[in-house]
Amino acid sequence: MKLDADICYRALADKDRRFDGKFFVGVKSTHIFCRPICPARTPRRDRCEFFATAQAAANAGFRPCLRCRPELAPGNSSVDAMSRLAARASALLDRNCGLDVEALAQRLGVTSRHLRRALRDELGLTPTQLRQQRRIASAKRMLTETQLPLTRIAFASGFSSLRRFNAVFREVEGRAPSAIRRASA
């Protein structure tokens, strides 16, 4: 397969998982090569050289990145473990939005420090922000799919009061919960 540099660079900038394993990028300024999903800062376009295989990048004189481990089969680097952990944390919060970071970490079998790092690297969120995001997502679902009163929705999605629910919702969504309900009615 011939690589299209425009498509590759875009996938790299987006850290697009669909392209993981489809190409590798060598960074000319550092002589290191990465997977498209590498958490490192996206290199400048003119410093990138794209390869179809990890072997081709190595043959061209690039060394494998220690963060995304392009020389390992996909799924075997710590980057993948981090992203699985972030996804599991998110799913756990969807089932039980009352979990705090300690309880969450315990259920996932990691330290809270490790969990914080995974969430920051993978999602750019603190555990509190993730919990808030999942609570708002659950509230939005109820607002659009049910006729439950706002107070019920606030408590069901883990907020301690309607006032708190309104405030957080407005902060995250930029509008009041009642506006979402009106828009979906």
Contacts with Zn ion by CB under 5 A lie at: 34, 38, 65, 67-68
Q: Is 23 helix (H, G, I), strand (E, B) or coil?
A: strand
Residue closer to Zn ion by CB (options 79, 99) is: 79
Residue closer to Zn ion by CB (options 34, 119) is: 34
Tell me the two tokens of residue 139: 């509230």
The CB-of-9 to Zn ion minimum distance in angstroms stands at 15
The CB-of-38 to Zn ion minimum distance in angstroms stands at 3
Closest Cα partner for 137 from 161, 113, 168?
A: 168
The CB-of-43 to Zn ion minimum distance in angstroms stands at 10
Residue closer to Zn ion by CB (options 43, 158) is: 43
Contact status, residue 178 vs residue 150, Cβ threshold 8 Å: yes
Residue closer to Zn ion by CB (options 38, 118) is: 38
The CB-of-1 to Zn ion minimum distance in angstroms stands at 21
The CB-of-35 to Zn ion minimum distance in angstroms stands at 6
Residue closer to Zn ion by CB (options 50, 159) is: 50
Distance CA 49, CA 45 (A): 9
Beta pairing class for 32-34 and 63-64 = parallel
Q: How many CB atoms lie within 10 A of CB 83?
A: 19
Q: Is 64 helix (H, G, I), strand (E, B) or coil?
A: strand
